[in-house]
Amino acid sequence: MPRIELRLTPELHEYILQYKPKSLSLPAFCSLLIEQTANRVLDPSGTLGLASASEASPSSSTSIEEELTNKSNKTKTRARVRETDPFKAKAVSSDLVPPDLLDCQQLLPEFWAVKKGVRSEGVWSRVCGKLRGWTPEQRREALERAIASGWGDVFEPPSIRTSAGHPGGYVDSITRDRQTRDNFLAMFSTAEEAA
């Protein structure tokens, strides 16, 4: 890509800095302005309408000013949306955990950080609603399984399914591993049984 050295008057430099989004560097923003203006017809001086205020026509400077204002406002709007919904971030504060789920105060933010999929206040409310329907032990088990597996949601633990009379059917890998370990350890006598 060819490199160009661009020299700006101090007035034009200050003017551009007023509208430059914080997310772009000055060279990147100038490049964006040139690229967007390149499709327009060049004026006789070849300055793309960015010359000093005395040389530029009022209509071209007004349109560029409007364009700069619109770009700046779009960036600020996106930032405001992110600031208003704390649930969009991976790291949520444990203060956001509802008072009736204080037993999940450590596990719920940890789950939120590793979960797959969309993060929003609606999803947070739905997950909390599911957890409210279970006992504290079942909540802990469901959150630990979701964290270990990187799931996008919490699912009812197998202990709920078996107590509700559901057939055994599918057994997830964590439960299967625990059952295998318990069966293996049951084959050996303990010190109490040997005595």
The three-point CA angle 28-14-81 to 5° equals: 60
Element (H, E) at 132: helix 121-132
Within this chain, do residues 116 and 129 fall inside the same structural domain, yes or no? yes
Within this chain, do residues 128 and 186 fall inside the same structural domain, yes or no? yes
The domain boundary, picked from 51, 84, 117, lies at: 84
User: pLDDT tens digit string along 4-15?
Assistant: 888 889 998 888
Alpha helix ranges (H) inside 20-172: 26-37, 58-84, 107-114, 121-132, 136-149, 158-163
User: pLDDT tens digit string along 122-171?
Assistant: 999 999 999 999 999 999 999 999 999 888 899 988 776 655 555 555 66
Q: Residue 121 belongs to what domain range? A: 87-190
The domain boundary, picked from 18, 51, 84, lies at: 84
Give domain status of residue 2, yes or no.
no
Task: Summarize the confidence of residues 50-61 as an average pLDDT.
Answer: 49
Please state the φ and ψ torsions of residue 89, each to the nearest 5 degrees.
-80, 155
User: pLDDT tens digit string along 3-46?
Assistant: 888 888 999 888 888 888 888 888 888 888 888 877 665 555 55
Nearest to 15 by CA among 31, 29, 5: 29
Give domain status of residue 156, yes or no.
yes
Give domain status of residue 1, yes or no.
no
The domain boundary, picked from 44, 59, 84, lies at: 84
**What end-to-end distance do the CA atoms of the chain give, in Å?**
83
Amino acid at 2: P
Q: What's the structural domain count of the chain?
A: 2
Q: Compute the radius of gyration of the chain from its Cα atoms.
A: 30
